[in-house]
Amino acid sequence: MKKLMFALGLLAAGATAQAATPIFSDSFDSNAAALNATPTGWSIDKGTVDIIGAGTPWDYIPGSGLFIDLDGSTGNAGMLFRDFDLTAGLQYTLNFDLAGNHVNSAQENVQVKFGNVTEVFSLPMAAGWTPYSLVFTPNQTKTYTLSFWNNNSNDNVGMLLDNVNVTAVPEPETYAMMLAGLGLVGFMARRRRKA
Ligand SMILES: [Ca+2]
Ligand SMILES: [Ca+2]
Ligand SMILES: [Ca+2]
């Protein structure tokens, strides 16, 4: 019985360690292409973004379906954001692809905020899709915001965004707690048999 519980514990911890659970994914391909638009499930603050790509005059990186120009067409780059209910003790990884401004050589930066983590990304003109990731481990279970905000406005051309996804895995400390929990279950099972 003891050996069985130990083996089960290892199995559970191993399986969880390998499997990052997908909790969100958006290729923006299910939207309708439009300038100054809000992709489904997202919100926009401070300005606008464009949904461009396949089937539009602005298919800068063919084969990507639709994607986001983070500087819309109103002279103010919009902050693209959405909320996530995140659980303390899980480690969340945000993955996304950015590409450079494909029209002019203006220096573009995109500020990405994921929960309490903020990082600024920059790519030269016409740079292709570049994968980035941010890791955030909440210390409280609550609603957090993910946002993308292009800083360089006034020219209606920003960096491009596609393939945003979020996965979750338990923190290493959580594995230890899971193992301890399984140990307790084994201990109680043994006690029940003795009683
Ligand atoms: Ca896409
Ligand atoms: Ca634009
Ligand atoms: Ca710009």
pLDDT, mean of residues 14-20 = 64
- Tell me, in angstroms, the distance from the centre of ligand 1 to residue 192's CA: 56
Total count of domains within the chain? 1
- 156-169 pLDDT, tens digit per residue, is 999 999 999 999 99
Domain membership of residue 177 (yes or no) is no
Compute the distance between CA of residue 146 and CA of residue 148 in angstroms, rounded to an integer: 7
Ligand showing the shortest atom-to-Cα distance for residue 57: 2
Nearest 10 degrees: Cα torsion 25, 137, 46, 22 = 0
DSSP letters, 146-187, are: EEEEE---SSS---EEEEEEEEEEE-HHHHHHHHHHHHHHHH
For the cut 70, the answer to whether the pLDDT of residue 147 exceeds it is yes
pLDDT band (50, 70, 90) for residue 191: confident
Residue 72 covered by a domain: yes
pLDDT in tens, 95-132: 999 999 999 988 899 999 999 999 999 999 999 999 99
**Ligand nearest 101 Cα, by number?**
3
pTM assigned to the model: 0.82
**Residue 135, domain extent:** 21-170
What is the number of the ligand closest to the CA of 104? 3
The pLDDT-based confidence of 154 (bands split at 50, 70, 90) is confident
* HSE (side-chain half, CA atoms, 13 Å) at 34: 9
98, part of any domain: yes
CATH number, domain with residue 43 = 2.60.120.200
How far is it, in rounded angstroms, from Cα 63 to Cα 68? 14
Rounded to the nearest angstrom, the distance between the alpha carbon of 75 and the centre of ligand 2 is 9
